[in-house]
């Protein structure tokens, strides 16, 4: 493997969209009271928030939460930018002055050296996987028989989790594949116990489990 192949790039994603909370005027009434006047009426504020929420959900599905930020693969930059452009058009149908834009900040992760950035990103991926699975499994594990619809949903979740592997890390890929195999076989409670243990160990070690 060449040195270039060892260096994988992920991108910090910063999306900014116009806010419905923009103020047209700020007035100090007294030391304890201020009067703020919105720039937009309630209908426009609701419409702006509806557009923001719609497209925020779309681009965040393509990203991995990472220490209060979002990161994406290089290949997902253009699709995310396309979503942001659609958000811009949606906002500007409400008011031409509204806008949306995205900034991508590259992070180079050195796989061969298992550098600090690479380890931090893979830890975030594993943390997000275990946290998400734990949330899904904690109640299912209590059931005597897991409903078939829930088992199939867990299998679909494994496919979704593959998108979180922004570094295409083989250990992450294998972990997800193992979960999928066990869910296909109907093994739920033992997986739930293992996942809960992983989350507990991460918390005990002071690791930040992404929400």
Q: What is the pLDDT of residues 94-127, one digit of tens each?
A: 999 999 999 888 877 655 545 677 777 888 888 8
- At residue 175, the pLDDT reads 93
- At residue 114, the pLDDT reads 53
- At residue 95, the pLDDT reads 94
User: What does the alpha-carbon distance between residue 150 and residue 154 come to, in Å, rounded to a whole number?
Assistant: 6
Domain boundary residue among 109, 137, 156? Answer: 109
- At residue 153, the pLDDT reads 92
Q: Where are the alpha helices (DSSP H) in 61-188?
A: 77-92, 116-140, 148-161, 170-184
Domain boundary residue among 94, 109, 124? Answer: 109
- What length does the chain have? 211
- 85 with 135, same domain: the answer is no
Q: Which domain holds residue 23?
A: 7-109
* Residue 1, in any domain of the structure: no
- Return the number of other C-beta atoms located less than 10 Å from residue 84's C-beta: 21
- At residue 204, the pLDDT reads 64
Domain boundary residue among 109, 138, 163? Answer: 109
- At residue 106, the pLDDT reads 82
The two beta strands, 69-73 and 7-17, are antiparallel
- 140 with 99, same domain: the answer is no
- At residue 74, the pLDDT reads 87
- 15 with 105, same domain: the answer is yes
User: What does the alpha-carbon distance between residue 120 and residue 148 come to, in Å, rounded to a whole number?
Assistant: 36
- 39 with 125, same domain: the answer is no
Structure tokens at 121: 């990103």
User: What does the alpha-carbon distance between residue 95 and residue 93 come to, in Å, rounded to a whole number?
Assistant: 6
Question: How close are the terminal C-alpha atoms of the chain, in Å?
Answer: 35
Report which of 12, 7, 9, 166 is spatially closest to residue 104, judged by C-alpha positions.
12
pLDDT in tens, 126-149: 888 998 899 889 888 888 888 999
- pLDDT averaged over consecutive 10-residue blocks of the chain (211 residues)? 50 90 80 85 96 95 84 91 97 94 79 65 85 88 87 92 85 93 91 88 57 38
Instruction: Give the rounded distance of the alpha carbon of 141 from its chain centre.
Output: 25
- At residue 33, the pLDDT reads 85
- 21 with 91, same domain: the answer is yes
| 3-state secondary structure (DSSP) of residue 127 | helix
Number of domains the chain is built from: 2
User: What does the alpha-carbon distance between residue 194 and residue 187 come to, in Å, rounded to a whole number?
Assistant: 12
Segment 187-191 long-range contacts (CB within 8 Å, at least 24 positions apart): 188/137, 188/140, 188/141, 188/146, 188/151, 188/154, 189/141, 191/133, 191/137
- 195 with 140, same domain: the answer is yes
Using the structure block, give the residue that is written with the tokens 């943390």.
127
Task: Mark residue 66 as left, alpha or beta (left: phi above 0; alpha: psi -120 to 50; beta: remaining).
Answer: beta
Structure tokens at 50: 């509806």
């Amino acid at each position: 493997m060449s040195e270039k192949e060892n260096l994988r790039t992920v991108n910090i994603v910063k999306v900014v969209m116009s806010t419905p909370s923009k103020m047209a005027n700020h007035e100090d009434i007294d030391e304890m009271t201020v009067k703020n006047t919105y720039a937009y009426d309630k209908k426009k504020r609701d419409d702006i928030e509806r557009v923001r929420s719609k497209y925020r959900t779309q681009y965040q599905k393509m990203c991995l939460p990472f220490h209060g930020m979002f990161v994406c693969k290089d290949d997902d930059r253009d699709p995310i930018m396309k979503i942001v452009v659609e958000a811009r058009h949606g906002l500007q149908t409400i008011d031409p002055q509204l806008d949306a834009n995205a900034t991508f900040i590259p992070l180079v992760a050195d796989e061969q050296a298992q550098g600090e950035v690479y380890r931090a990103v893979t830890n975030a991926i594993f943390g997000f996987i275990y946290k998400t699975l734990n949330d899904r499994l904690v109640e299912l594990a209590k059931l005597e028989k897991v409903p078939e619809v829930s088992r199939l949903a867990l299998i679909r979740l494994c496919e979704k989790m593959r998108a979180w592997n922004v570094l295409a890390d083989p250990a992450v890929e294998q972990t997800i594949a193992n979960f999928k195999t066990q869910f296909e076989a109907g093994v739920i409670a033992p997986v739930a116990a293992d996942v809960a243990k992983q989350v507990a160990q991460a918390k005990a070690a002071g690791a930040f489990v992404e929400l």
